[in-house]
């Protein structure tokens, strides 16, 4: 029995593990590598496993770095089940089709650009057809325990990360031996809006855990309300617009939740909110249909105001015309638009029209990777380039650090203290973060061994 780490170990993207027991092979996640273009393309293109030999896929959640290359399994002939919670399945239907569309558009754009130079055309990593074939293999589960292959059972437990997210406990049986492997990747945090708290695991031999923030402590998630309230109030007081670059999945809905909470308490006047993202609109619909998986706080607010996800003051602007109207309007309002790091999408139009107005505020509610426009704004650059033109940054830029869906260093250490596994294996983190967390676990003697695998490494069970 063993587990092999095919990706997402000393980086936060491309998570995919192969679990082997009793002659069965099961993949846990099959995520997209993201980062430098050429390097990620090569990593994503190389199939690290013989898909014909895989009996099942167990998927944790609908973030692209965990599910984004699942269509490639279908492309290579995989036709066994892909198990995911029913919410994750529904979200993947949106996320994977969108990923396929981006793949096809990117390839077409590159080919159009390089055609004249006589360069060999590139093909998309996968197509819409591949995504649709993969989606047909999805089997929706509850938070329950199921046999996924002979000798391998998988429990789905609440990860408290995004809606529908699950951690897994794999119970492996071979020749009379039983081993329990817990996978806390991704692990959420306490006090997040909408989602429930992460659940604990018991009797774990090997705990595989993320280390994204192995050396960082976030502001308490409970402070998100106050942080958002303060910056929105200041902006509307001076007659400006609040522009919020946001991921379409979860973060956009979290911002709506916080605003609903602030409006219901009378802490902010009910100024209009535009969610300018067709994808966020579709995803919010899935949230709307999945309320049984939401936390108590959500249900209390729902009982108080009626419809938290689609209140009267929120307009989802799906059409381009409606979007343009919001962009050109000068009235105070809040705009939530993708992409979260200002790399593409409608947020760019809002920034183009709003960045030079000192009354406006750009509010960052997510991680901003190096070399993105979002990062440049956070770093306080005075001039930024949008659609090839240079703009003077006059708007205020504010980062709200209470927003994060990942456990921080304290949450991670606390999880190990409570689960008390025999061994810990750290993945899903840049090496400095991972090393810092490993040292802390060792210093407290929380496990007999702390493993930090490299890509391709295996751990025997
Ligand atoms: Zn995630």
pLDDT of residue 116: 65
Of 159, 142, 122, 154, the C-alpha closest to 38 is 122
State the distance from the centre of ligand 1 to the C-alpha of 153, rounded, in angstroms.
23
State the distance from the centre of ligand 1 to the C-alpha of 120, rounded, in angstroms.
35
State the distance from the centre of ligand 1 to the C-alpha of 186, rounded, in angstroms.
5
State the distance from the centre of ligand 1 to the C-alpha of 234, rounded, in angstroms.
32
Print the SS3 string covering 357-389. CCCCEEEECCCCCCCCHHHHHHCCCCEEEECCE
State the distance from the centre of ligand 1 to the C-alpha of 66, rounded, in angstroms.
7
Q: Is the pLDDT of residue 370 over 90?
A: no
Give the DSSP letter of residue 226. H
Domain range list for the chain = 2-216+405-460, 221-399
Residue 124: C-alpha distances to residues 36, 45, 91, 97, 310 (Å): 17, 10, 22, 13, 36
Burial of 327-342, coded b for 16+ CB within 10 Å and e otherwise, reads beeeebbbbbbbbbbb
CATH number of 221-399: 3.40.50.10890
Query: Regarding the domain with residue range 2-216+405-460, which homologous superfamily does it belong to in the CATH classification?
Result: Ribonuclease Z/Hydroxyacylglutathione hydrolase-like (3.60.15.10)
State the distance from the centre of ligand 1 to the C-alpha of 251, rounded, in angstroms.
11
Q: Is the pLDDT of residue 117 over 90?
A: no
Q: Is the pLDDT of residue 114 over 80?
A: no
Strands 423-427 and 206-210: parallel
Q: Is the pLDDT of residue 243 over 90?
A: yes
State the distance from the centre of ligand 1 to the C-alpha of 392, rounded, in angstroms.
34
State the distance from the centre of ligand 1 to the C-alpha of 62, rounded, in angstroms.
7
User: Which helix (H) or strand (E) segment is 356 a member of?
Assistant: none
Q: Is the pLDDT of residue 161 over 80?
A: yes
Distance, in Å, from the CA atom of 46 to the CA atom of 42, rounded to the nearest integer, reads 6
State the distance from the centre of ligand 1 to the C-alpha of 187, rounded, in angstroms.
8
Confidence category of residue 383, pLDDT binned at 50, 70, 90: very high
State the distance from the centre of ligand 1 to the C-alpha of 98, rounded, in angstroms.
17
> Which pTM was predicted?
0.94
User: Which helix (H) or strand (E) segment is 275 a member of?
Assistant: strand 273-275
pLDDT of residue 128: 98
Distance, in Å, from the CA atom of 444 to the CA atom of 55, rounded to the nearest integer, reads 39
> pLDDT tens across 18-34, in order?
999 999 999 999 999 98
Strands 166-174 and 177-184: antiparallel
State the distance from the centre of ligand 1 to the C-alpha of 236, rounded, in angstroms.
33
State the distance from the centre of ligand 1 to the C-alpha of 189, rounded, in angstroms.
12
Distance, in Å, from the CA atom of 49 to the CA atom of 289, rounded to the nearest integer, reads 36
State the distance from the centre of ligand 1 to the C-alpha of 311, rounded, in angstroms.
27
State the distance from the centre of ligand 1 to the C-alpha of 169, rounded, in angstroms.
17
State the distance from the centre of ligand 1 to the C-alpha of 271, rounded, in angstroms.
31
Residues 211, 217, 222, 228, CA torsion sign: negative
State the distance from the centre of ligand 1 to the C-alpha of 329, rounded, in angstroms.
35
Averaged pLDDT, 164-171: 98
Look at phi and psi of residue 261 and say left if phi exceeds 0, alpha if psi is from -120 to 50, else beta. Answer: alpha
State the distance from the centre of ligand 1 to the C-alpha of 37, rounded, in angstroms.
21
Arithmetic mean of pLDDT over the chain = 95
State the distance from the centre of ligand 1 to the C-alpha of 390, rounded, in angstroms.
33
Residue 141: C-alpha distances to residues 145, 146, 147, 188, 288 (Å): 9, 9, 11, 20, 19
């Amino acid at each position: 029995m063993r587990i092999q780490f095919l990706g997402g170990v000393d980086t936060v993207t491309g998570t995919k593990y192969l679990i082997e027991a009793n002659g069965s092979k099961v993949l846990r996640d099959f995520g997209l590598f993201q980062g430098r273009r050429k390097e990620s393309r090569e990593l994503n293109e190389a199939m690290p496993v013989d898909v014909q030999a895989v009996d099942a896929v167990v998927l944790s959640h609908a973030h692209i770095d965990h599910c984004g290359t699942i269509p490639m399994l279908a492309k290579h002939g995989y036709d066994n089940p892909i198990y995911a919670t029913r919410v994750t399945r529904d979200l993947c239907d949106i996320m994977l089709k969108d990923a396929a569309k981006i793949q096809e558009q990117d390839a077409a754009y590159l080919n159009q650009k390089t055609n004249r130079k006589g360069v060999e055309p590139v093909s998309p990593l996968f197509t819409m057809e591949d995504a649709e074939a993969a989606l047909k293999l999805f089997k929706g589960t509850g938070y329950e325990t199921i046999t996924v292959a002979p000798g391998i059972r998988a429990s789905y437990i609440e990860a408290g990360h995004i809606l529908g997210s699950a951690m897994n406990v794999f119970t492996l049986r071979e020749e009379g031996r039983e081993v329990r492997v817990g996978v806390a990747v991704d692990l959420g945090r306490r006090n997040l809006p909408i989602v429930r708290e992460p659940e604990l695991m018991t009797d774990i031999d090997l705990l595989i855990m993320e280390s994204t923030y192995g050396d960082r402590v976030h502001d308490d998630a409970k402070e998100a309300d106050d942080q958002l309230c303060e910056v929105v109030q200041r902006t509307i007081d001076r007659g400006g617009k609040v522009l919020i670059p946001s991921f379409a999945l979860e973060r956009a809905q979290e911002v709506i939740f916080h605003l609903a909470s602030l409006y219901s308490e009378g802490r902010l006047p009910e100024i209009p909110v535009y969610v300018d993202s067709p994808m966020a609109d579709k995803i919010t619909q899935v949230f709307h249909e999945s309320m049984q998986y939401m936390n108590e706080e959500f249900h209390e607010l729902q009982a108080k105001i009626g419809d938290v996800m689609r209140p009267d003051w929120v307009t989802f602007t799906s059409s381009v015309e409606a979007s343009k109207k919001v962009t050109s309007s000068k009235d105070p309002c809040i705009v939530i638009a993708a992409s979260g790091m200002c790399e593409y999408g409608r947020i760019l139009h809002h920034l183009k029209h709003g960045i030079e107005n000192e009354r406006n505020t750009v509010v960052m509610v997510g991680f901003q990777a190096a070399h993105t426009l979002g990062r440049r704004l956070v770093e306080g650059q005075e001039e930024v380039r949008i659609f090839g033109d240079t703009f003077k940054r006059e708007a205020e830029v504010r980062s709200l650090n209470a927003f994060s869906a990942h456990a921080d260093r304290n949450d991670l250490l606390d999880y190990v203290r409570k689960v008390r596994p025999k061994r810990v294996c750290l993945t899903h983190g840049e090496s400095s973060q991972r090393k810092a967390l490993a040292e802390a676990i060792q210093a407290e003697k929380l496990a007999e061994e702390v493993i930090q695998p490299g890509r391709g490494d295996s751990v025997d069970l």
